[in-house]
Structure 1
Amino acid sequence: MQVSMASAQGVGSANEDIILASPTGVVVLDGLSAPKDLPMGCVHGTPWFVRQLSAYLINLIGDAAVPLREALRSAISEVNDLHRDSCALSQEAVPASTVVMIRERGDVLDYLVLSDNMLVLDLGDEGIRVITDKRVEEVAGKEMRAALQGPTGTPEHAARVSALVTVQRHLRNRPGGYWVAATDPDAADEATVGSINLVQVRQAALLTDGASRLVDSFHTMNWEQLLDLLRTEGPAALLDRTRVVELSDPAGERWPRFKRSDDATVAYVRISSPAFLPPEGQHLG
């Protein structure tokens, strides 16, 4: 398994995405932004949370005997222990993150997806499979439609986004709502998991929603074209092209969105094969 990766900060004070890779696994997290005008029960913040959670995950999935759901459950519990004495973990206003991860285990590829990160798998003759969880888009419809009204970057737009996040927090990690990694280990039970024979997988991409925009928001390419771009030009090229499109519509008039530009992170994975050698000069980490 060969992995190349890139991450770029969007509008905000810090990149709340993170990506970690080991010889047999990849973990990509997208921290949920907390508007500055809303309360936060954790003194550490979202960037700290995603760093801690990802570190536990990449370590835990290194043990092939540990199921991915169990790894996520244990990682959430471990991070809770790091700050339960200093932070109000029972409140809704705690850091949270989406999760997508894969693991090579013998002759299979295990995967886990929690919330709206994307796992894109090229399965050869079987086509391309996209795995994600869009339940967050099925709640707070009225507030979501309002938050998508531009122009982005204005106080009025920011207020509508804050109103959306306030409602979403009440629905987070509850039946009938949507699920993310936060302080409830039971969220791991809501993750989508599976295993695929490794020989079926030609290439894969793990993306935060800021890196999937060209396909699922802007509709300027399809998943096959996205994988081709990653294979031929690398992950940084995908993020550069995303920023170009975002800058062409800074107010969100053509493509309504919550942020002018979002943190964007992608890991591109290929299974060693003569048909999928790295482009000349490209470094694979």
Structure 2
Amino acid sequence: MQTDRMRTELVSEPSSPGLPNEDFASVGLAASGQGGALVLLDGVTPPRGASGCRHSVPWFTAHLGGALTDLTVSLLDVPLTEALSRAIAATADAHAVTCDLSHPRTPQATVVLARWSPEAVEYLVLSDSALLLESPDGTVTARLDDRLARLPRSALASAARVDAELRNKEGGFFTAAADPAVAARAVTGVLPRGEVRALATLTDGAARWVETFGEGDWADCFRVVRKQGARWLVDRVRELERADTGRRFLGRAKTHDDATVVYAEL
């Protein structure tokens, strides 16, 4: 998409053809033409077994993402934490009668929000998707919620332990599920508009280029997306996944994950 003020690129691919994509991404432009917002969600795939909910993860990310797109673009004076809180509450209301929203595996997602105006760039990151910001001098800064990455791998070996002790728990990590209060746990910030030239955001399926395969750092990743495109990055991740037949890099992780990249020149 291109206007007189900005250019955006969005690529999203499911883990395998024929499977639903549990990611959600959108870019909304303010009606005034001055500013806009970006929403990125990575739905959490539950393990086999009960989740307390009759709805799928794509249903959840579509509802939460749609609400966030509306709120971040239409209510420019509402802080991003408040927008996320309202969107979680609205999504919960949509299935509270039919589903057990207290279940630890009720549908949930990671969240990245960015909103820009002529004066400022606001951002919010919750869980393990990544936001990259480029300054006018070319410096790239990663804004991350690294609480999940800081946990010892041994603590994550059992899904039951994760659900009982770590998921949406103090000392663990947080995702957007059914509790609006989780919005206050997000990593947030505001920068002067003149300090951000472009931004990119990636779900962890695309961020494997950095985090799993070590093809470069976050600055390298941003430059690849800018110069070669979001499609190239996702295709390269797929090549690396297919080549890792000995599981040297992937280990116990699934071979492919939903992969989404959004790039915006402001």
Regarding TM over 0.5, the answer is: yes
Matched, 1:210 2:205: yes
Matched, 1:71 2:71: no
Whether contact under 8 Å (2:115, 2:123) holds in the other structure is yes
Name the SS of the counterpart of 1:137 in structure 2: helix
Cα offsets for 1:205-225 (capped at 9, x unmatched): 111011111112111122232
Counterpart residue identity of residue 52, structure 1: H
Cα offsets for 1:189-236 (capped at 9, x unmatched): 000111111221122111101111111211112223222221222211
Counterpart residue identity of residue 28, structure 1: L
- The separation in 2 between residues aligned to 1:119 and 1:51, in whole angstroms, is 20
Counterpart residue identity of residue 109, structure 2: S
- The count of corresponding residues between Structure 1 and Structure 2 is 252
Name the SS of the counterpart of 2:233 in structure 1: helix
Q: Which residue of 1 aligns with 2:183?
A: 188
For residues 247-262 of structure 1, the aligned pairs below 5 Å read 247-262=242-257
Higher RCO, 1 vs 2 (CA within 8 Å, ≥6 residues apart): 1
> Structure 1 residue aligned with 2:45, among 33, 36, 42?
33
Q: Offset at 1:167?
A: 2.2
Matched, 1:5 2:10: yes
Cα offsets for 1:168-208 (capped at 9, x unmatched): 22221121121110011111000011111122112211110
How has the CA–CA distance of structure 1 residues 123 and 257 changed in structure 2, closer, same or farther, with 3 Å as cutoff? farther
Aligned-residue Cα RMSD (Å) equals: 1.7
For residues 124-273 of structure 1, the aligned pairs below 5 Å read 124-125=136-137, 127-139=139-151, 141-144=153-156, 164-170=158-164, 171-271=166-266
Q: Which residue of 2 aligns with 1:158?
A: none
Q: Which residue of 2 aligns with 1:278?
A: none
Q: Which residue of 1 aligns with 2:58?
A: 47
Q: Offset at 1:256?
A: 2.3
Q: Which residue of 2 aligns with 1:86?
A: 98
Question: TM-score, normalised on structure 2?
Answer: 0.89
> Structure 1 residue aligned with 2:26, among 20, 26, 36?
20
Q: Which residue of 1 aligns with 2:3?
A: none
Counterpart residue identity of residue 166, structure 1: A
Counterpart residue identity of residue 213, structure 2: F
Whether contact under 8 Å (1:61, 1:71) holds in the other structure is yes
- The separation in 2 between residues aligned to 1:221 and 1:41, in whole angstroms, is 40
Counterpart residue identity of residue 195, structure 1: V
- The separation in 2 between residues aligned to 1:105 and 1:194, in whole angstroms, is 14
- The separation in 2 between residues aligned to 1:233 and 1:178, in whole angstroms, is 33
Whether contact under 8 Å (2:52, 2:106) holds in the other structure is yes
Q: Which residue of 2 aligns with 1:150?
A: none
- The separation in 1 between residues aligned to 2:8 and 2:176, in whole angstroms, is 24
- The separation in 2 between residues aligned to 1:188 and 1:182, in whole angstroms, is 10
> Structure 1 residue aligned with 2:135, among 119, 123, 128?
123
Q: Which residue of 1 aligns with 2:72?
A: 61
- The separation in 1 between residues aligned to 2:257 and 2:243, in whole angstroms, is 15
- The separation in 2 between residues aligned to 1:217 and 1:201, in whole angstroms, is 27
Name the SS of the counterpart of 1:33 in structure 2: coil
Question: TM-score, normalised on structure 1?
Answer: 0.84
- The separation in 2 between residues aligned to 1:77 and 1:180, in whole angstroms, is 14
- The separation in 1 between residues aligned to 2:252 and 2:193, in whole angstroms, is 36
Gaps of 5+ in 2: 1-5, 30-35
How has the CA–CA distance of structure 1 residues 44 and 220 changed in structure 2, closer, same or farther, with 3 Å as cutoff? same
